[in-house]
Amino acid sequence: MEFGRCGSGIIFALYHIYTKKAAVAVTTTLQVAVNKINKVKNNKNMPTKHKIIVMLLVAATALAGFAAAPDTWSLAKEKGGIKVYTRQSAISSVKDSKGVMQIKASVDDVLGLLRNFDGYTKWMYKCSESKLLKRVSEAEYYVYTVTDAPWPVTDRDLISKVNAEKKPDGTITLKLTGVKDFIPEKPGKVRVPRFSGLWQATPKPNGMVEVLYQLESDPGGSLPDWVANATATDIPFFTLAEMKKLLE
């Protein structure tokens, strides 16, 4: 009995610390684990010793998965010289994705296309509207885009803060950060609450450029996971494919 009380006290203390960290991390994986721990904790028919074992296993599995997920990329698609990788997201149930390709072009060609913000609808996958909201400097912009979602899902709109950097080796990077409240939300659209992304163009031998496009997003609303995850793969693939057509 004394062991049961002691073990129960330890696990419940760990539980409260764990749930606090989960709230800070705001990850789907940890939240699911917290829900499972809650169910075990409130199960009046389960002996305390069994609760301790189950709760420790759930917590350990979730934390191990959370620690490994951000760095684990898996190849999801490869076609036409374009590779798309995905990994479990730390901010939503939608997978992070990145696409990589090499094209016969210059870094300046890629940068020129990326800085033509009003022209994104011509080549970015499912982009139905795009415009420059504010130019702070040659290295900082605020851009508005709308992604056309399949019926009956509501279209998503996004405000991205774009920061451009150029390295000594000629590599150009555009870092994208979602700024949800930069302008008021618009009727008939769901504002993307959390977003980060990256465009990178790296010069390679023989006049080639390696282009990287990476996305991490919580689409918000009640978008089904299977729809969002299908799009997570399609967006980098078809966007890079259209860029390749325009620049080569």
Which stretches does DSSP call E strand in the chain?
Answer: 74-79, 82-87, 96-104, 127-137, 140-147, 156-166, 172-178, 190-191, 194-204, 208-218
Say how many residues make up the chain.
248
Which pair of tokens denotes residue 158?
A: 């996004």
Global pTM value: 0.73
Q: How many CB atoms lie within 10 A of CB 42?
A: 9
The per-residue pLDDT for 39 is 76
- Locate 163 and state its tokens: 């920061």
Closest CA relative to residue 177, chosen from 214, 232, 210: 214
Give pLDDT, residue 92.
80
**CA–CA separation, 152 and 9 (whole Å):** 49
**pLDDT score at 44:** 75
So what's the pLDDT on residue 137? 97
Per-residue pLDDT of the chain (248 residues), as tens digits, is 433 444 444 444 444 444 444 444 444 555 656 666 777 778 877 788 777 887 777 666 555 555 544 568 999 999 999 999 999 888 788 899 999 999 999 999 999 999 999 999 999 999 999 999 999 999 999 999 999 988 888 999 999 999 999 999 999 999 999 999 999 999 999 999 999 999 999 999 889 999 999 999 998 888 777 778 888 899 999 999 999 999 99
Distance between CA atoms of residues 205 and 239, nearest Å: 24
Strand duo 156-166 + 172-178: pairing = antiparallel
Asked if 69 contacts 214 with a C-beta cutoff of 8 angstroms, the reply is no
Among residues 189, 185, 193, which one has the least CA distance to residue 218? 193
Q: So what's the pLDDT on residue 9?
A: 47
Predicted pLDDT of residue 128: 97
* CATH fold of 72-247: Alpha-D-Glucose-1,6-Bisphosphate; Chain A, domain 4 (3.30.530)
Domain ranges of the chain: 2-69, 72-247
